[in-house]
Structure 1
Amino acid sequence: MMKTPSFLLAAMLASPALAQGTDDCVGATPLTSGAAVAFDTTIATLSAEVWPCAASGGPDLWFQYTSTLAGGGLISFETCGSSYDTSLEIFSGACGALTSLSCNDDACGLQSTLTALAPAAGTSYFVRVGGYNGATGAGTLLATEIANPCTGPDDAFEDNDTCATSVAVPAGYYPGLVASTTDSDFYSITVQPSQYLSVSLVDEATVDLDLNQFDSSCNLVTTWFADGFTYQNVTGSPEQVRFEVFVNPAAAGVGCLSYDMNVRLAFDPDCSFPDAFEDSDDCTTAAAVTNGTYTGLSVEDGDNDYYAVTVANGETIEATIFFIDLFADVDLYLWDPNVACDTNVAGQGTGTGALSVGFSTTDNETVSYTNTTGASQNLIIEVDMFSGSGCNEYDLLVSDGTIGPGGIGTAYCTPNANSTGGASSITAVGSRIVATNDVTLSVTGLPLLSFGFFIVSDVQGFVMNPAGSSGNLCLTGAIGRYVGPGQIQNTGTSGMISLGVNLQAIPGPMGFRTTAAGDTWNFQAWHRDSSATGPTSNFSNGTSILFQ
């Protein structure tokens, strides 16, 4: 199979009338943030509006979204996981006098994503869902509000506002960072001779953040108008590389953008030693994973990797692999094993029956899918070495929330490194539905054989080094502590702790609190730590969950 390099096909949507969408702009079906809506365009008609993408488009349906973000922010729309080649278009204005803002055909496999700026609550957009070149089918449309990060505290790396004040970072995954049109972020890292540096950004508006690369004296080397870059040190000596994350000037008016950053250092891959998940060599032997980042993995031709995940009804799973395509080309698939599974059986590329496919010739791949079946689904993630490509190393990020990295919540607030040399990371799995009462918190990357517990509040905050701590407190207001019987835990030899949360018994200074639909709880972990000056404490990052 020959592989065509990825690019945006010009393709967009039109609109028909169904219960899950309206055939015309007038009477468009309203959308709610975080609630996936099923649609079916097979009996829809093609709207009069000409598609600016999607090769003349296909029968389409209309929806309307009105922002509830008091402080402004972004609204994303996606059809990831739908059953056919979709397209999306966003409009401002009124029916009969619409202005097309943006159009997308392929973003997550053959499905579509778009992001719009919402300056204030009450901002309305019309969204039409169609198909590429006449394509029709069933799918889901998900709208997600992304609060303006300018209204919250700076991330923990500030002030890294100039090349001269670049913050040194080791290889790793850094969630909850913030850049703005007036406040770029600068970082530095040492790259050994012949070593490769790969920097990847995971952001909510993928066209808006770009990177500048500098040498150790802050001379500009190159500008990368992309969400990442790969660089090899060929100088023969250790080299300090500095780089800037900035908001593209073409995104005027966006203000601030939140992002996660993955930094990898790698030599030419050596796949002669199995990684921690072997032997997960087919769909029946898939290794179970939950939300989190899994590093130091490898895949080779003839020995693909398989991971099993459970996705609750109404939730969206997103999986990303970070790798350097220069070494070898790797692809990503998400399967429902009850329908189809395994590229060795179904074949490679699109049209294989996979729920979502990441199939390009560039660094990194992502798959995304929203479960609207009415019940939990057991799915398979396959990391596939494209035929004849050899072997490669990769990191895997899995999240099953509807609002970006961090599980069923939104990751925020950058943690400081602890005595392990890295930072701890909190995730939440389960369901955001209050009646289900199914939430489990987990923290990884903790010092071994140390004590820790979880804390909670309905208000986010940011306090550096409270009471002499080595970490950052990401909560304020009425902070509760999970210090009841069995809740103060030892990290043991795994460096992690986890806790099932009773949504009707959230601790607080004045007693337990209950949870109702519409409530938001912010969670963090506190733990014992050590430093060069003696015993201390530290914190993980935070995760925020909006319950339904």
Structure 2
Amino acid sequence: MSVRAFRYLFAALALGVPAAAQGVHTFTINAGQSNFVWTGDTSTGPLEGDPSNTFHLEGYQNVSLGFGSSGLSDAGFISGDAAVVPDIHAKIPNPISWLPDLADIDITNMHLSFSSVTDFPVNGSGNYTASVVVTVLSGTMIVDPLVGSTIVEDMAGTVSNPNDASGTLVISGTNANLHVPVDNTTTFDDSGSGMSGWIRLQGDIVAQASCSGGVTTYCYSFPNTSGGTADLMTSGSTSVSANDLTLMAGPMPNQWGIFYYGPGMVNGGGGAVFGEGVRCVGGSPHRLPPRLASFSILSYTLDLANPPSVAGTITPGSSWNFQAWFRDPPGGSSGFNLSNAATIDFCF
């Protein structure tokens, strides 16, 4: 039996396992729930676990998440590192029970990486189908046949053909949950050895990612003609999928103003005098549409699905700095003032 035939056999361990483009998030594989059973048969004889035909995956998978107006819309499996635990031990028993096995096969230190051929849509219920390619990052196969020499094969670099995998990817609060049920049968036919057969994998990949959003104010503001200093506040959540965050600033005069945001801070968050106030937000600014303050409060509800520019797209896991600018003609020669600022960390 050739090493090529055995390589076909155990490359199938990668072929059937689905993987895990937008903001990239690391999903931790739940080792206790990502359990697999393999079965197989060959023209030489049936494959049996020695002593077990079970394994689980542990490690991580990187997944990109894309969001539209109604929440999670698409995703992509990128790289990762999933270890096959424990090592795989198999045998082809001798049909004559009292004779040694026809072959013993051991695969040690197998690590897999998964990627989707393209990004794939995720529907409102979290269901998706992805075309997945699996790459063996590491793994050593040792074949000890009854007749012939022991063969040692480095499996690193083995790449599967694309294989469709259907599962769920659901956002729940600050958690993202990935579930892929796997039931895959791969056939092989090695002309070099004349060996043919099949191997079937059944199991589940379960993985989770989490993020924690939040709002942290910084910098300061000078008094305006309302009699106070404008403070930046928020209502709603920092969840991109909920898309319900409202910015507020006040007190201020009932004049026109805007909220704007950027990636940096001025002077490390200390700010710099600008007009009658302090400019706190640094980097290229993204300006939101103007609003007229009412009852001394300026407010604006963000629409994260329609950013003011592509560069200003807000994704889960990103952090942005926000500030309000407003007209205040009686307040000084510049005729405008600003609120303090806030760093907002966005979540799923």
Flag the structure with more relative contact order, 1 or 2, with Cα contacts below 8 A and sequence separation at least 6: 2
- For normalisation by structure 2, the TM-score amounts to 0.36
Higher Rg of the two aligned structures: 2
